[in-house]
Amino acid sequence: MNKVLRFTYSFAAVGVTAFVAALFSNQAMQTFYPSLNMPPFSPPDMVFAPVWSILYTLMIISYYMVLNSSDTMRVQSASLLFLGQLFLQMLWSYMFFGIGFYSSAMVVMALMIWTVYKMIERFKTINETAGNLQYPYLLWLIYAAYLNLGIAYLNVN
């Protein structure tokens, strides 16, 4: 696979995830999300789009860097973790925004944090910079887990 195809693949994988997540979150922002009780230190809604744009850009770049490695076995295992965390991100968006199962979404979030941590470890064995580019994402997920847990606790029906 040449570099253009690798970049296109990286962009498409992240782009599909961003699109699916946006479908669920945009609908929620227009309906029930503004009426939720929020935990302390919740950011204003306008923060989410720029943060996710930066994180998605870092994902595209780092995965592209991984795909450029000639170590096929490591790239395959890194790809499984990368694509797995993208799937978990879509599942979390559905659970949290799509159907409002906040506690179940928290379980998915915990699994996503673990998967991203393992992904960073694997990326770093291939390309240290690619792994390091994912630390902001991991930190954001930990913060998002706090928000998820707070919303689950404060909005029990």
CB 134 within 8 A of CB 123: yes
Sign of CA dihedral 74, 77, 83, 84: negative
- Which residues, 6+ apart, have CB-to-CB distance to 90 below 8 Å? 17, 20, 21
What average pLDDT does the segment 61-77 reach?
97
Q: Supply the CATH classification number for the domain 3-34+46-154.
A: 1.20.1260.100
Among 16-20, 69-73, 87-91, name the one with the lowest average pLDDT: 69-73
pLDDT at 157: 65
Tell me: the pLDDT tens digits for 90-119? 999 999 999 999 999 999 999 999 999 999
- The 10s digit of each residue's pLDDT in 31-42 is 999 999 999 999
pLDDT value for 156: 84
**What's the pTM value of the predicted model, to 2 decimals?**
0.95
The pLDDT, as a whole number, for residue 114 is 99
**Angle between helix 72-93 and helix 48-67 axes, rounded to 10 deg:** 160
Round the average pLDDT of the chain to a whole number and report it.
Answer: 97
Instruction: Tell which residue, 146, 148, 136, has the closest CA to residue 55.
Output: 136
In this predicted structure, the answer to whether residue 14 has a pLDDT above a threshold of 70 is yes
Residues 30-63 as b or e (16 or more Cβ within 10 Å = b): eeebeeeeeeeeeeeeeeeeeebeebbebbbbbb
Is residue 89 scored above 90 in pLDDT?
yes
Domain map (residue ranges) of the chain? 3-34+46-154
pLDDT of residue 1: 73
